[in-house]
Amino acid sequence: MNREDFLGMLENFCKRPAIYTGFPDYKTAICWLEGFDTAHHGMLFGSFEQWLSHKLLINHSGWGWPRMILHIAGSEEMALGTLAMTYREYASVADSLDANDLKNDRDAALTALYGTTSHEPESLTNQELTYDTSPR
């Protein structure tokens, strides 16, 4: 599956995730998307997390792309729409990205701003990702 085909599928998925997963919540949607990406050998999200980390100047082990998207969106209800828009922006530049350049640029910017290459946002969304393990 190429990036354009995936983008079309992702936009449809984000509008109605329950059709694909059986549940409309963000956490289930993310699990499905990560599984889908894994089935495609990580080629669909590829350097998406590095690009997003560079864009947001976030570099912390507790902040993967799902949490960064939730942070941008502000709520789980808005997160899937934000994911589709953000991925579209990423897809427009993805072929020209170099992961090492992204990392080096991000680290230089973080060092200049905070004196360290590790950083997480100071203000968090009011919703943290927690996983409900209760039966559905």
Note the pLDDT tens digit of each residue in 58-89: 888 889 999 999 999 989 889 999 999 999 99
The runs of H, that is alpha helices, within the chain are 3-15, 17-21, 26-39, 48-56, 65-73, 76-93, 99-114
Domain ranges of the chain: 3-114
Residue 76, number of CB atoms within 10 A of its CB: 17
Percent of the chain with pLDDT over 70: 89
Q: Residue 119: phi, psi to the nearest 5?
A: -160, 140
**Residue-averaged pLDDT of the chain:** 86
DSSP 41: T
pLDDT exceeds 80 at position 24: yes
Please report, as a single letter, which amino acid is at residue 50.
Q
- Residue 119 sits at the vertex; the CA angle it makes with 36 and 29, to the nearest 5 degrees, is 20
For 17, 89, 109, 113, the CA distances from 28, given in Å and listed in that order, are 9, 23, 34, 35
Beta-bridge partners for 59? 119
Q: What is the mean pLDDT of residues 9-20?
A: 95
